[in-house]
DNA sequence: AATGAATGAGGATTCATTCAT
DNA sequence: CATGAATGAATCCTCATTCAT
């Protein structure tokens, strides 16, 4: 659905690039639904409306395709988050920035969900080789959050009884898990975002007195 | 590690029952690591220290085994939670009970992790047939939480700006996600529990005034 | 490297004919190295410095290409041998003529080796259809040798204890096998020729008395 | 048809060992006919009268199977040759021993032909990995011949104008090539052996005077 | 109660071949 | 004349499952 710019040689051009993207989208969808081991190339091909061997014209192996989906999932997420934070007014407090991040993460996860869900859900299910490179990208994303939490802690916007690392992980759980339960019928994304922001703010903030 | 009683015929006996449990434990372990589609019977067999065909003496199919692991995962969790709540002093507030539930869930998830993680992680990855029966069991577990949240909301212990359903889901995310990141080296379970309880209490509670 | 005239329409012209030859040369090389079943059109294309589908402009199928290589291999060999024998002085003995043939065969095999090796090595490995037409060509080549041996036998230049047919086959082995072991580093072609001639002459000739 | 003793664990016992051997025999047959790249596991399976996947119960991969066939081909040949030479009377001359070797090689090649032909024909057609290990075994076999030729040369039983290395190669060609042309209809093995021995003796021996 | 042996149904991947450009 | 894109027919290999013992 959205892939950060163009990657690799073969076809930044027209038809070719679109086919490649169609395959990537299809893979993201299947991957987020069936998981790494459950993704069959024939499913991906059907979803992309072509024959399975055609995939090999664009990706050298199944794992190559998976890796790119997961990479795109995280990279797009990071790009989205980075942009959102860059757009934050200069006078925003560290906690404001955390809430901006919560919104960005949720909106991306629930709207572009295929890539993001694929990346999130298959985190521990892929073979070592993919895992490693994925882990590296994951670290970069986590680093942004760590900095956000750290800044808030130093500004006294996080309660003393919370360990910054654990706090960060609990927040990630709060928002990552949404991919598992959220369905459009249950609540609008706007409502989910509003609730999650309130939930997270109070979860972290010192008690007003 | 712990399976709530034995269902079905075959083995309430001694050796037989123990082998069956060994297989179940092995399956839980593999299932929580590799996911539904990635679990091979030969892996399970190796982990249980026997040959793959032997599994068929105790389970009629791969899916049957998976289903039982996931069922045990949830059933044990529910039993554990129910017991914990039953042991709560009569004068405990609804919020106190929620925090007891947070602790029970986390301890079970992180200590007995294999069954619980298997059940949690594979929630959306199993085939319809299993999914359906699992969903039914999941509902029962969710109902306990729904009642806890509802009671707290009616007692005015949950902020007005939170939708009870969404609040419940956010809490589940907070604690379910721990299975993905927690490792003994990073923090003791006691610390995780304490942090999560504080996090959840403040996430839900009305602002002190 | 050398193809006896151009058969078929397509390209007696310049560039076209050259490309066709480049493909044929490439196929000969790959065929002599990897064998019939191991020859991939993409290998041939790479060797000829073009894309695989381009081959179809010059040859109607993979087998067609193979067949032509093998045919050229034998046809060139026969042409070379025929020329060499025609150049033999009128007073040459039948044995002299055999030794001329040994030299011609060896030089051609080891110098133009690709086509010859391809033809020799894949003799029994190609599908029936090709095999049959190849066998016919092979017979013509074998006929020359049969006549050479026969003439020598009738002139009393071959020992009585040798069966002419078997003798011919043993000679063919002596010289055909060189394609398998000969490498420029080990010995010059001149030395191989000299040794082979001596070897064959004595192998066949009646004992001096 | 004949494999030197028992190799590896799985089954030196009854049925299992026999099935394994049936597969090996089948592979040798197909390999000698179609060549490395042309050998399909389904062909082997059909020849061995079982389903293709069953092969994986005995061999871990196609290449593994090929390698064992080729190894057996050479190893059996060497064992056969060694035995034949050991049985040679003490007063045999070096040339006598060469002729014994010629007979042993030919008989083995033409009678057990599948393994031997497979090993001989596919010498240059297999992938590097197999080639390397095969080459090692081939060296051992070649060493026996080198010693035979060397001994004959030192005893003055080989003409001075022949290079020992080239002479050895020419002999190998004489006898190896028989696998390509010999068919029971054309001549008995006894006749082939007799002709080849006479051919080789005179090819190498100094001229009587 | 458990295993060795074997099978059948897939699933990834390769490759000759086609076709529009 | 040649290529990029795509396809269909294999082919290797894996894995759940069966069955005789």
How much is the pLDDT for B209?
59
Percent of chain D surpassing pLDDT 90: 81
Question: Which residues in C have their CB inside 8 Å of a CB on D?
Answer: 33-38, 121, 123-125, 159, 161-163, 165-167, 169-170, 172-178, 180-182, 186-187, 191-192, 194-196, 198-200, 202-205, 207-208
User: Is it the case that residue D13 has pLDDT exceeding 70?
Assistant: no
Number of structural domains found in chain C: 1
Q: Using the beta-carbon criterion (under 8 Å), do B205 and A204 form an inter-chain contact?
A: no
Q: Are B and A touching by the rule of 3+ CB pairs within 8 Å? A: yes
Closest to B103 in 3D by CA, of B172, B204, B197: B197
Q: Is D133 buried (19+), middle (13-18) or exposed (0-12) by CB count in 10 A?
A: middle
pLDDT at C2 over 90: no
CA distance A196 to chain B (A): 7
Q: Give the Cβ contact number of residue A163 at 10 Å.
A: 17
**CA-CA distances (angstroms) from residue A90 to A87, C125, D66?**
9, 77, 70
Q: Chain A partners of B182 at a C-beta cutoff of 8 Å?
A: 169
Residues of chain D in contact with residue C195, where contact means CB-CB under 8 angstroms, are 161-163, 166-167, 170
pLDDT for B12: 54
Do residue D207 and residue C204 have CB atoms under 8 angstroms apart? Answer: no
How many angstroms is C1' of F10 away from CA of D52?
14
- Strand E–CB C62 distance below 7 A: yes
pLDDT tens, A106-137? 999 998 879 999 998 898 899 988 998 899 99
Verify whether the Cβ–Cβ distance B208 to A205 is below 8 Å. Answer: no
CB C75 within 8 A of CB C137: yes
Segment among B11-15, B44-48, C16-20, D6-10 with least mean pLDDT: D6-10
Minimum-distance CB partner of D187 among C163, C178, C186? C163
- State CA A86 to chain mean position distance: 18
Q: How many residues does the structure list for chain B? A: 209
Confidence check: pLDDT of D7 > 80:
no
Q: In this structure, what CATH number is given to the domain that contains residue A180?
A: 1.10.357.10
Q: Name the nucleotide nearest D51; use CA and C1'.
A: E7
pLDDT at site B7: 43
Check residue C106 and give its pLDDT: 96
The gap between C76 CA and E13 C1' (Å) is 39
* Long-range contacts formed by D183-192: CB under 8 A, 24+ apart: D186/C165, D187/C163, D187/C165, D187/C166, D189/D106, D189/D107, D189/D110, D189/D111, D191/C163, D191/C166, D192/C166, D192/D106, D192/D110
Mean pLDDT within A100-109: 96
Residue B10 has pLDDT above 80, yes or no: no
Q: Is the CB of C133 under 7 A from strand E?
A: no
Residues of D in Cβ contact (< 8 Å) with C38:
35-38, 125
Distance in angstroms (rounded) separating the CA atoms of residues A97 and A108: 16
SS3 assignment, position D126: coil
Q: In whole angstroms, give the CA distance from residue D150 to residue C57.
A: 55
- Interatomic CA distance for residues A83 and A105, integer angstroms: 12
Distances (CA, A) of B125 to A38, A125, C91: 8, 11, 89
What integer pLDDT is reported at residue B4 of this predicted model?
46
Q: Which of B125, B166, B192 sits opposite A38 (nearest CB)?
A: B125
Question: What was the pLDDT predicted at D44?
Answer: 97
Q: Which residues of B touch A195 (CB under 8 A)?
A: 161-163, 166-167, 170
pLDDT at site D47: 96
The pLDDT confidence band at residue D69, using thresholds 50, 70 and 90, is very high
Residue percentage of chain A with pLDDT more than 70: 93
Tokens of B201: 């209490």
pLDDT in tens, D100-115: 999 999 999 998 879 9
Q: Is residue C127 part of a domain?
A: yes
**Residues of the domain holding D111:** 62-204
pLDDT digits (tens, 9 = 90+) for B24-61: 999 999 999 999 999 999 999 999 999 999 999 999 99
Quote the pLDDT of residue B11. 43
Tell me the pLDDT band of C4, cut-offs 50, 70 and 90: very low
Q: What is the mean pLDDT of residues B189-201?
A: 98
Distance separating alpha carbons of residues D35 and D120, to the nearest angstrom = 10
Q: Collapse the DSSP code of B158 into the 3-class scheme (helix H, G, I; strand E, B; otherwise coil) and give the result.
A: coil
Q: What is the pLDDT of residues C83-109, one digit of tens each?
A: 999 999 999 999 999 999 999 999 999
Question: Each residue of C50-84: b (16+ CB within 10 Å) or e?
Answer: beeeebeebbeebeebbbbbbbbbbbbbbebbeeb
Closest by CA to C189, choosing from C114, C112, C122, C87, is C112
- Give the DSSP H/E element, type plus range, for residue D29: helix D15-34
Tell me the nearest-neighbour CA distance from C20 into chain D, angstroms: 26
Q: Is the CB of A209 under 7 A from strand F?
A: no
Residue C10 CB in 7 A reach of strand F: yes
| Structure token pair of residue C31 | 């065929």
In a domain, B31, yes or no: no
Q: What is the mean pLDDT of residues B69-90?
A: 94
Report residues 13-52 of A contacting strand F, contact meaning Cβ closer than 7 Å: 13, 15-16, 19, 50-51
Residue range C150-193, pLDDT digits in tens? 999 999 999 999 999 999 999 999 999 999 999 999 899 999 99
For residue A14, the distance in angstroms to the closest alpha carbon of chain B comes to: 35
Count of other CB atoms within 10 angstroms of residue A185:
5
How many CB atoms sit inside 10 A of residue D83's CB?
A: 10
Task: Give D53-114 as a DSSP string.
Answer: GGHHHH-SSHHHHHHHHHHHHHHHHHHHHHHHHHTS-TT--HHHHHHHHHHHHHHHHHHSHH
pLDDT at residue D4, rounded to an integer: 44
| Residue numbers in C 35-74, CB below 7 Å of strand F | 50-51, 53-54, 56-57
User: What chains are in contact with D, requiring at least 3 Cβ pairs below 8 Å?
Assistant: C
pLDDT digits (tens, 9 = 90+) for D155-175: 999 999 999 999 999 999 999
CB contact under 8 A, A162 and B186: no
In chain A, which residue ranges form alpha helices assigned H by DSSP? 15-34, 41-48, 55-58, 62-86, 94-111, 113-121, 128-154, 164-176, 178-181, 189-204
Indicate whether A184 belongs to any domain.
yes
Report whether A133 contacts A67 (CB < 8 A): yes
For A194, which DSSP code?
A: H
Higher pLDDT, A28 or B132: A28
Per-residue model confidence (pLDDT) at position B123: 85
Instruction: Find the closest chain A residue to B204 by CA distance.
Output: A199
D121-125 long-range contacts, CB within 8 A, separation 24+:
D121/C124, D121/C125, D121/D31, D121/D32, D121/D35, D121/D179, D122/D31, D122/D35, D122/D36, D122/D66, D122/D70, D123/C180, D124/C33, D124/C121, D124/C180, D125/C34, D125/C35, D125/C38, D125/D35, D125/D36, D125/D37
Q: Does some domain include residue D155?
A: yes
* Residues 16-55 (C) near nucleic chain E, CB < 7 A: 39-42, 52-53
Chain A environment of B165 (Cβ under 8 Å): 186-187
Chain B residue at shortest CA distance from A189: B166
Residue C6 has pLDDT above 60, yes or no: no
CA distance to partner chain C, nearest, from residue D125 (Å):
5
Subunits next to C (3 or more Cβ pairs <8 Å) are: D
Q: Is the pLDDT of residue A92 over 90?
A: yes
Residues of D in contact with C159 (CB under 8 A): 198, 202
Q: For C29-68, how does the pLDDT look when each residue is reduced to its tens digit (9 = 90+)?
A: 999 999 999 999 999 999 999 999 999 999 999 999 999 9
Cβ contact B36–A35 (<8 Å): yes
Closest CA to D99 of D153, D149, D164: D149
Res. C3: pLDDT tops 50 = no
Q: Report the distance separating Cα D116 and Cα D178, nearest Å.
A: 11
Q: What is the spatial distance, in angstroms and rounded to an integer, between the CA atom of A54 and the C1' atom of F8?
A: 11
Cross-chain residue pair C181–D169, CB shorter than 8 Å: yes
Cβ of C159 less than 7 A from strand F = no
Per-residue pLDDT at C124? 83
Q: D55: which nucleotide lies closest, measuring CA to C1'?
A: E6
Long-range pairs of A29-32 with CB within 8 A, sequence gap ≥ 24: A29/A114, A31/A66, A31/A69, A31/A70, A31/A114, A31/A118, A31/A121, A31/A122, A32/A113, A32/A114, A32/A115, A32/A117, A32/A118, A32/A121
- Mean pLDDT value of segment C130-143: 91
Q: D72 near D115, Cβ under 8 Å?
A: yes
Tokens of C151: 């003439």
**Contact check, Cβ <8 Å, A170/B195:** yes
What integer best gives the mean pLDDT of chain D?
A: 91
Q: Do the chains contact at D195 and C35, CB–CB below 8 Å?
A: no
Contacts of residue B191 in chain A, CB cutoff 8 Å? 163, 166
Within 13 Å and on the Cβ side, how many CA atoms surround D5?
A: 6
Above 60 in pLDDT, residue A6? no
Distance of CA D38 to CAs B175, C32, C39, C125, D117, Å?
A: 58, 15, 10, 8, 15
**Rounded-to-5 percentages of helix, strand, coil across chain B:** 70, 0, 30
DSSP chain C: ---SS--SSS--SSHHHHHHHHHHHHHHHHHHHH-TTT--HHHHHHHHTS-GGGHHHH-SSHHHHHHHHHHHHHHHHHHHHHHHHHTS-TT--HHHHHHHHHHHHHHHHHHSHHHHHHHHHTTTTS-HHHHHHHHHHHHHHHHHHHHHHHHHHHTT-S-TTS-HHHHHHHHHHHHHTHHHH--TTT--HHHHHHHHHHHHHHHHSPPP-
Q: What mean pLDDT do residues D70-96 have?
A: 95
What whole-number distance in Å separates Cα of residue B117 and Cα of residue A184?
26
Q: Is the CB of D50 under 7 A from strand E?
A: yes
Contacts of A among chains (3+ CB pairs under 8 A) = B
As a whole number of angstroms, the distance between CA B112 and CA B74 comes to 11
Q: Of A35, A172, A196, which has the smallest distance from its Cβ to B177's Cβ?
A: A172
Whole-number distance in Å between A54 CA and F5 C1': 9
CA to C1' distance (Å), from B65 to F17: 14
Q: Are B38 and A131 in contact (CB under 8 A)?
A: no
Mean pLDDT, rounded, for D42-63: 96
D57 Cβ contacts chain E strand, under 7 Å: yes
Q: Does any domain span residue C44?
A: no
In a domain, C54, yes or no: no
Cα–Cα distances (Å) from B149 to B90, B171, C189, in that order, read: 17, 10, 93
What phi and psi, each to the nearest 5 degrees, are found at residue B167?
-60, -45
Closest to C165 (Cα-Cα) out of D173, D185, D207: D185
Is there a domain that residue D69 lies in?
yes
From the Cβ of A47, is strand E under 7 Å away? Answer: no
DSSP assigned state of B49:
T
Residue D6: what pLDDT?
Answer: 40
**Nearest residue, CB atoms, D162 vs list C124, C199, C205:** C199
Protein residue with the closest CA to the C1' atom of nucleotide E19: C53
Nearest CA in chain C to D209: C209
pLDDT at C12: 54
pLDDT for the residue A13:
64
Place of tokens 């022949």: D162
pLDDT for res D209: 58
Indicate whether this model's pTM tops 0.95: no
Q: CB-CB: which of D159, D174, D195 is closest to C174?
A: D174
Residue A29 within any structural domain of the chain: no
- Pair A101, A85: CB distance under 8 Å: yes
């Amino acid at each position: 659905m959205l892939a950060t710019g163009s990657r690799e040689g073969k076809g930044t051009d027209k038809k070719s690039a679109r086919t490649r993207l169609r395959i990537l989208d299809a893979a993201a969808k299947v991957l987020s639904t069936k998981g790494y081991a459950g993704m069959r190339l024939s499913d991906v091909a059907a979803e992309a409306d072509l024959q399975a061997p055609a995939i090999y014209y664009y990706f050298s192996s199944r794992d190559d395709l998976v890796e790119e989906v997961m990479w795109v999932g995280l990279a797009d997420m990071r790009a989205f988050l980075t942009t959102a934070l860059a757009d934050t007014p200069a006078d925003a407090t560290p906690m404001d920035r955390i809430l901006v991040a919560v919104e960005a993460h949720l909106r991306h996860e629930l709207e572009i969900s295929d890539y993001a869900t694929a990346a999130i859900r298959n985190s521990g299910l892929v073979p070592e080789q993919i895992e490693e490179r994925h882990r590296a990208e994951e670290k970069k994303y986590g680093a942004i959050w760590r900095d956000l939490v750290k800044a808030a802690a130093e500004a006294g916007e996080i309660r003393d009884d919370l360990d910054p690392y654990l706090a960060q992980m609990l927040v990630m759980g709060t928002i990552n898990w949404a991919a598992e339960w959220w369905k459009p019928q249950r609540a609008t994304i706007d409502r989910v975002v509003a609730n999650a922001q309130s939930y997270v703010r109070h979860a972290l903030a010192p008690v007003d007195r």
